[in-house]
A and B are shown apart, each in its own frame.
Chain A
Amino acid sequence: MANIESALLDLGYLDTLAARDTIIHRLDPRVKVLTAVLFALCVVSFDKYVIAAMLPFALFLSLIMGLGGIPAHYVLKKLVLVSPFALLLGLLNPFLDQQTLLYLGPIPISGGWLSFLSILLRFCLTVGAMLTLIATTSFNGVCMALEKMGMPKIFAVQLLLLYRYIFVLIAEGQRMYRARALRSFQGRGADMKTFGHLIGGLLLRTLDRAQRIHLAMLCRGFDGTIHTRRAPRVTARDILLLALSCCLLLGMRRYDCSLLLGQLLTGFVQ
């Protein structure tokens, strides 16, 4: 539990990263959102046994992370934290699909293992891309971009409020958890029933808070629409970079660069 707590609180670090000023940070949020979406679509649309063709995408992502000054160990830690979902998803593949597809030296590799690795790689690339997007754009920037691109305002506001209050909610939950832990000796009182009460209490507190926030909004003339800050204009440079990265991504999706590079090298050697 302590691990999950600190990992969630670590979310705040994303904001610190997003406050930096690098070439990637200065790009328009919309450009980054579109690129990230295209990146994810390209990665997930690969055939299920593909691994090598995805590696250029990893290179692309690390290049952006490098330019944006995002520490790799931070992203890796986050990936490890959420990896159980992907592991669970692909866990049965090696058992279900035992047909040997290729030999790595003398070792036969089954299709199941390949697809398992492929799932893991896709997972790392897409989640890594999203983390990089938020760490270079800030959550608010992403919301603003999505709204500009036509997402209904109400969703944007929901997301913004969710992000604003997740920290308050975590702190509140943490205090309740600590209060229980301090009075449950040798794990007594740690059963599902107390847990249920804890969650119920948290829900009631949340409802109370929601009411107070609504009241605070009403006091300042809230009439149903939230006016978020206007996004800056897209510059020609932004569009150029977007076009460039789209071409690059689609190119990497269309042609297997690893294979081409391999052929080139072997041809060169011969």
Chain B
Amino acid sequence: MSHHIVEVQDLTYTYPDGTDAVRGISFRIHHGESVAVVGANGAGKSTLLLHLNGYLTPQSGKVRIGDFPLTKATLRDIRRTVGMVFQDPDDQLFMPTVFEDVAFGPMNLGLPQDEVAQRVQEALARVGVEHLKERPPYKLSGGEKRAVSIATVLAMSPDILVMDEPSSNLDPRARRTLIELLAGFQHTKIIATHDLDMVLDLCPRTIVIREGRVMADGPTRAIFENNQLLAESHLEKPLRMQACPVCCRHSG
């Protein structure tokens, strides 16, 4: 299918308190692409993401998801198409048990009970946490919570996944599991993050945002080689692309 396109044109957004969070962002993401959105704290990443599933409506400019422009009338379809994984799993997991939480979306879609159960089962199996089905979310570990949050979104069978800092607060192993999981997904992925090493693993394309504008948009490698651009955007080369301090000392 070729219609899972995310297109943003001259998007601007000013918060009621006068903060210009987004000042004219444009990009186009094609079906199956995996794109990182990186930038300093407060660069406008989160505000941008909130537009992609229609929580915020563009003050000027346009957002198109697949075949629909983002308007009030298409909101329902867009929210089904775009699965959003939040930064804090505690915000995303609000139902009493993992099962009910994952079932929340499919139930709202009005699916029959047995189909809901099947979808929940599949989503939990996909992220490898079927055994947590009956547990209350607050008793899970950070990594488990993250996996379940992703399952809640998968159960809606979205075409596009939008994630805000998916690797934050995870221990290295949970982070690695998450990266492997995400690498296996066929969805169009948009990931806002500060974890540039993860970007190297997952996203061939990177969009750098600074003060509400797109500073660079291109192949991840090329962008991470550009020291000046990274410094201006409050970023650093991923550790893997830096010379190893231990080896350097030995050889030099």
A213 in contact with B94 (CB, 8 Å):
yes
In the bound complex, residues from chain A placing their C-beta under 8 Å from that of B181 are none
In the bound complex, residues from chain B placing their C-beta under 8 Å from that of A140 are 96-97
Given A212-B91, A218-B79: A228 touches B100 (CB 8 Å cut-off)? yes
B91-119 Cβ-contact flags toward A at 8 Å (1 or 0): 11011110110011101110001000000
In the bound complex, residues from chain A placing their C-beta under 8 Å from that of B224 are none
In the bound complex, residues from chain A placing their C-beta under 8 Å from that of B104 are 217, 220, 222, 226-227
A168 in contact with B138 (CB, 8 Å):
yes
* A 164-189 contacts with B by CB, 8 A: 164-165, 167-168
Q: Taking the complex as formed, is B90 at the interface, i.e. its CB lies under 8 A from any CB of chain A?
A: yes
In the bound complex, residues from chain B placing their C-beta under 8 Å from that of A230 are 113
Contact of B86 among A212, A221, A222, A227 (CB under 8 A): A212
Given A219-B53, A221-B109: A209 touches B91 (CB 8 Å cut-off)? yes
B79 in contact with A220 (CB, 8 Å):
yes
Give the top 10 A-B pairs by smallest Cβ distance, nearest first. Answer: A221-B108, A220-B105, A227-B107, A212-B91, A140-B96, A167-B138, A219-B84, A216-B92, A216-B91, A213-B91
Nearest-neighbour CB distance to chain B for A103, whole angstroms, equals 54
* B 9-64 contacts with A by CB, 8 A: 50, 53, 55
User: How many residues on chain B are close to A (CB under 8 Å)?
Assistant: 35
In the bound complex, residues from chain B placing their C-beta under 8 Å from that of A15 are 136, 139
For the complex, what is the distance from the CA of A208 to the CA of B88, rounded to whole Å?
12
Question: Chain A interface mostly helix, strand, loop or mixed?
Answer: helix
Nearest-neighbour CB distance to chain B for A164, whole angstroms, equals 6
A210-240 Cβ-contact flags toward B at 8 Å (1 or 0): 0011011111111100111110000000000
For the complex, what is the distance from the CA of A19 to the CA of B108, rounded to whole Å?
28
Q: Taking the complex as formed, is B126 at the interface, i.e. its CB lies under 8 A from any CB of chain A?
A: no
Q: Taking the complex as formed, is B176 at the interface, i.e. its CB lies under 8 A from any CB of chain A?
A: no
For the complex, what is the distance from the CA of A92 to the CA of B109, rounded to whole Å?
58
Name the residue of chain B whose CB is nearest to the CB of A217.
Answer: B94
For the complex, what is the distance from the CA of A223 to the CA of B110, rounded to whole Å?
11
Interface size, A (range): 20 to 34
B199-229 Cβ-contact flags toward A at 8 Å (1 or 0): 0000000000000000000000000000000
Question: Chain B interface mostly helix, strand, loop or mixed?
Answer: helix
Contact of B95 among A12, A164, A218, A221 (CB under 8 A): A164
Q: List 22 A-B contacts (CB under 8 A).
A: A15-B136, A15-B139, A139-B96, A164-B96, A164-B137, A209-B91, A213-B91, A215-B86, A216-B84, A216-B94, A218-B79, A219-B82, A220-B79, A220-B153, A221-B79, A221-B80, A221-B109, A222-B108, A227-B107, A227-B108, A228-B100, A229-B100
Q: 4 more A-B contacts (CB under 8 A) besides A212-B91, A221-B156, A222-B104?
A: A164-B96, A219-B55, A219-B83, A226-B104
A221 in contact with B91 (CB, 8 Å):
no
A216 in contact with B138 (CB, 8 Å):
no
Nearest-neighbour CB distance to chain A for B194, whole angstroms, equals 19
Name the residue of chain B whose CB is nearest to the CB of A144.
Answer: B96
Q: Taking the complex as formed, is A151 at the interface, i.e. its CB lies under 8 A from any CB of chain B?
A: no
B94 in contact with A161 (CB, 8 Å):
yes
Q: Taking the complex as formed, is A163 at the interface, i.e. its CB lies under 8 A from any CB of chain B?
A: yes
Q: Taking the complex as formed, is A160 at the interface, i.e. its CB lies under 8 A from any CB of chain B?
A: yes
Q: Taking the complex as formed, is B152 at the interface, i.e. its CB lies under 8 A from any CB of chain A?
A: yes
In the bound complex, residues from chain A placing their C-beta under 8 Å from that of B100 are 228-229
Nearest-neighbour CB distance to chain A for B114, whole angstroms, equals 12
Name the residue of chain A whose CB is nearest to the CB of B80.
Answer: A221
